[in-house]
Chain A
Amino acid sequence: MGKIKVEVSYLPGVEDPEAITLTKNLRVLGYKTVKSVKISKVYEFDLAGKEGREQVHEIAKKLLCNEVIQDFHVKE
């Protein structure tokens, strides 16, 4: 039993238009100290057994993350 988190984010160098738009608008709003913003997505899994952890890695690799443009980190 337990919870496990997977964070999926863009690889360095991959342009994220959402983050660029957010940064631009934050500057317009006066937050001049914001140099850039990185957006990532966190999936939290509630697992029934220990064997689930391996499955989460598999899910992250196969489905949650497209390694062409993204990377993932599993946080236990």
Chain B
Amino acid sequence: MLLVMEGTNCEDEAFRSFSESGFDPKKVHVNELDHTALEDFDAVYLPGGFSAGDYVRAGSLFASRLMASKSAELARFIDEGKPVIGVCNGFQILAESGLIPDVSHHGKREVALASNISNRFECRLIYIRNVGRNRMLSEVAMDPTPVPVAHGEGRVVFSDKSIIEEMKQRGQILFAYSDPDGNTAGYPWNPNGSEENIAGMTNEEGNVIGLMPHPERLYYGYQLPYKLRSGKPTIGKQFFGAVHKYVMKVTA
């Protein structure tokens, strides 16, 4: 399920990436949620964009609508091990909903996506590498991998420093920004000033995944700049392919 509302704008690329990876995706508008059963779907995907104009805070209105309608159903869906993935604005929605990182298991907001430290909308190619222990995405971005970012509010900030330590121990920090050689580095490689260079994270079970970079915007090799075309699978192919493989296993 690709969940959309007014202002989301990455659902078409995501739809294509899911289709190409073997899924039969369906777009569902947030207004239709009350008449839609989550159990009919294998995965929930929250796309990027500027949902509800990003008014109040990025993703906060979408998060309120989602949780008002589907909080209990979504909790069951997550307990069953099905993936809930948020990219960019989708990550902001997951953070605002308290679904991620959910270290306390109380659905509390523990992380915020604050304004980029550069005070700019950062829209360009960066590198990420896998630093987590996620069973779904264990083979994604094992080497520093180029991926586009496009956000103004992507700086990961925690309510409490102890949350970072808990997340590290549990392998919940999934992707980190790096330079092309895999070294963690400051701006511009880390485009927003995130603590610990965090680009993506998961819940403890690893099936709720939030990331700021856009794998759906780089599915085909020709979407890379000429100099970076190595013949290796793109981040989009790796990411959505891994999600499909995982879903096949979970729903088998």
Contact = CB atoms under 8 A, between A and B. Distances in A.
Contact of A68 (B56, B64, B159): B159
A66 B96 contact: yes
A16 B60 contact: no
B202 interface: no
A67 B160 CA distance: 11
Contacts of B111: 68
A63 B157 contact: no
Residue with the highest number of chain B CB atoms closer than 10 Å, among A14, A18, A21, A69: A69
Interface residues on B, range: 10 to 19
A17 B109 contact: no
Contact of A17 (B116, B157, B159): B116
A14 B114 contact: yes
A35 interface: no
Interface string B95-137: 0100000000000011110111111000000000000000000
A66 B60 contact: yes
A66 B119 contact: no
A63 B109 CA distance: 11
A25 to B, nearest CB: 11
Interface in A1-57: 14-18, 20-21
A75 interface: no
Contacts of B157: 14, 68-69
A18 B61 CA distance: 22
A64 interface: yes
Interface residues of A, number: 14
Contact of A69 (B112, B116, B118, B119): B112
A47 B76 CA distance: 37
B56 A63 contact: yes
A70 to B, nearest CB: 8
Contacts of A16: 115
Nearest to B152: A17
A63 B64 contact: yes
A17 B60 contact: no
A68 B119 contact: no
Contacts of A20: 119
Contact of A15 (B61, B64, B117): B117
Nearest to A67: B109
Contacts of A67: 109, 159
Contacts of B16: none
A20 B118 CA distance: 10
A69 B114 contact: yes
Contact of B60 (A15, A18, A63): A63
A44 to B, nearest CB: 14
Contact of B64 (A17, A21, A62, A69): A62
Given A68-B111, A69-B157, A63 B61 contact: yes
Task: From B61, B119, B157, B159, name the one whose CB has the most chain A CB atoms within 10 angstroms.
Answer: B119
Contact of B119 (A14, A21, A62, A64): A21
9 contacts: A16-B115, A18-B119, A21-B119, A63-B61, A64-B56, A66-B57, A66-B96, A67-B159, A69-B112
